[in-house]
Amino acid sequence: MVESYLAYTGLRVTDLERSLKFYTGFFGLGEVARGDNSSGGGGVSVLLRDGFTGQKIELNYYPPGSKYSVPYVPGEGLDHVAFRVADLDAKLKQLAAAGFRPVRKGDPVEPMAGFRVAYLADPDGNWVELWQQPDPMPSAPPETY
């Protein structure tokens, strides 16, 4: 069984519909999942997948009033890189032993009960999301998250 895998790269956007048209229209990426956590102070996310390579990108829009809606600086739009892990606590312990600490931990994600997430900064300060969900790790790359 695999212990972790690169799930997707998150990109912060200022206009979700404009960005959707760009990535789907110019590059042929297809929408495979959508989430809205704006009522909880978060934002709206859309997962896109390249039909040829299977690579995924998540577009994240944080509306005014969101706790993550901060001034946008072009070139600083990489929101985070995400890795699904089999055991979040074990992975955090491994990273802590190397000096990496969470910058944010425990954001609830509905409606998936048992879903756990933590964020840490990589050596250059880029955010890395680690997430665990209750179902077992897949034996083959999944179509969505």
Helical segments of the chain, H only: 16-27, 88-97
The pLDDT confidence band at residue 56, using thresholds 50, 70 and 90, is very high
Q: Is the pLDDT of residue 61 over 90?
A: yes
Q: What residue has token string 């200022």?
A: 14
Fold of 4-132: 2,3-Dihydroxybiphenyl 1,2-Dioxygenase; domain 1 (3.10.180)
Structure confidence at residue 74 (pLDDT):
66
Q: Which of 12, 57, 13, 53 is nearest to 31 (CA)?
A: 57
Q: Is the pLDDT of residue 64 over 60?
A: yes
Global pTM reads 0.71
Q: What are the pLDDT digits (tens) for 4-39? A: 988 999 988 989 999 999 999 988 999 999 999 888
